[in-house]
Chain A
Amino acid sequence: MAEQKKVRFVIERQDGPNEKPYTQEFDVDYRPGLNVVAALMEIQKNPVTVDGKRVPPVTWECNCLEKVCGACMMVINGVGRQACCALIDELAQPIHLAPARTFPVIRDLLIDRSVMFESLKRIQGWVEIDGSWESKDAPIQNPYTAQTAYEISHCMTCGCCLEACPNVGPQSDFIGPAPTVQAYLFNLHPLGKFDAPKRLEALMGKGGITSCGNSQNCVEVCPKSIKLTTYLAQLNRDVNKQALRNIFNK
């Protein structure tokens, strides 16, 4: 029988939020269709390094396993992407795994992405439906912008765009492309558009859309192929108009 083919993983690990990172190497039995999450599950079953040392299993996060939830975003061979759809057959080996350090690392490959949730709250990434006003039937979506809204609604706040953006990180207060562009989604909504000025005001603040430096990495790395730069430019247009309204409507 032919010898079992192995896949070598070089994993950047970290025991806690303030601990020093270190690397460990693992071998995983190859099988057709193997992806990074499945390989990490194999390592979890038998956490033995290539040196034969038994170590604590590698921690990471995953959920849907079909590129919808965004939870398993990690840096694979230098680029932030979803581990569940990273097929071993399409990756250069040895495969390097690292946490997306744009976000605080909790342990190993597990990161804290809650900063994006805070940003979504800041741009009012929801539609106001509860109020003292009368609610009738749901309004229809504009059929001409529904396609765009559907596209932006695919955003799973995975954070790939923030990881790639040179203007996101501890050195900057930029909220990043994903939460910024969500403002446009809710501004397109037939009810959400009533709060458009509020969202644009939020984007005009510190760390808002003005912190975008047009490096356009976001649109290159988005796993959902959302045309982020197009909507950022649209929002730039919208905040400029909002600024004119702020100046001349008073």
Chain B
Amino acid sequence: MFNTTFYVRRLHSLCGLVCLGAVLFEHIFTNSMAMGGPAALNSSLAMMELIPKPIFMGLEIGAIAVPLLFHAVYGVYIALQANNNPGRFGYQRNWFFALQRWTAWFLVIFLIWHIFYLRIFTKGINGTPISYELLQAYFTSNPVVAILYVLGMFAAIFHFCNGITTFCMTWGITKGPRSQNVISALSMGLCALLCLVTLAFMGSYFM
């Protein structure tokens, strides 16, 4: 008997934490360069351009697009199996369970917009390189865009950090309530930290 469900579920968990976690960290790391001004961010972006094109494209497709699509499509299937009930059972973990799914729905929409506009339309079709000046114009010309991007980052950061906690449960790493609570507190600490970093680099465009 080959338990497809089991392997697909575990793959979903693994590629969320490893691939998409790495993508999230790369985004936060590179974007935080904006705090150092235009030169810092632009040189950081230029450094990525040094990666040979075929390798870069391979990484974008193999390490981002495919895992993201799989995680999103199978994630929608998982989210549809839940009947969120934090109103009836207002325990912290149940709120996080619902938030994990609500942030997921928001991220599906946000990422379609983000990837299509910046990666496919601006960089791909128009051939405009992403730069500090482009991002600053994009965010400061319309505060709604900046707010949606901050919310998108918050959603992704929470989804990832709460994902660490549930990953540890799903893989049987944290078994008892004490270890689960410790991991939960640590990952929420990381969540707060990454959210502050996001606010800092997004705010730096308006300074």
Contacts and interface: CB of A to CB of B under 8 A. Distances in A.
B82 interface: yes
Interface string A35-55: 000000000000000000000
B89 A213 contact: no
B25 interface: no
Interface stretch (A18-26, A133-141, A200-208): A200-208
Contacts of A212: 170
Describe B's contact surface by its main secondary structure: helix
Given A166-B94, A214-B97, A171 B170 contact: no
A59 interface: no
Contacts of B10: 210, 240, 243
A216 B5 contact: no
B3 A201 contact: yes
B81 to A, nearest CB: 4
Contacts of A240: 10, 171-172
A167 B81 contact: yes
B32 interface: no
Interface in B75-108: 78, 80-85, 88-89, 91, 93-94, 97-98, 100
B7 A166 contact: no
Contact of A79 (B1, B7, B88, B100): B88
A213 to B, nearest CB: 6
B78 A213 contact: yes
Interface in A169-205: 169, 171-174, 201, 204-205
Contacts of B24: none
A172 B81 contact: yes
Given A210-B5, A213-B97, A233 B174 contact: yes
Among B6, B82, B98, find the residue whose CB has the most chain A CB atoms closer than 10 A. Answer: B6
A166 B98 contact: yes
B18 to A, nearest CB: 16
Interface in B1-24: 1, 3, 5-7, 9-10
The 5 A-B residue pairs with the shortest CB-CB distance in the complex, in nearest-first order: A237-B172, A215-B97, A172-B81, A204-B3, A236-B172
Interface of B: 1, 3, 5-7, 9-10, 78, 80-85, 88-89, 91, 93-94, 97-98, 100, 165-166, 169-172, 174-177, 180
22 contacts: A78-B88, A79-B89, A166-B98, A171-B80, A204-B3, A205-B5, A205-B6, A214-B97, A214-B169, A215-B93, A216-B91, A217-B89, A229-B177, A233-B174, A233-B176, A234-B172, A236-B170, A236-B172, A237-B171, A239-B6, A240-B10, A240-B171
Given A164-B89, A233-B175, 12 more contacts: A164-B88, A171-B80, A204-B5, A205-B6, A210-B9, A214-B166, A215-B94, A227-B177, A232-B169, A233-B172, A236-B170, A240-B10
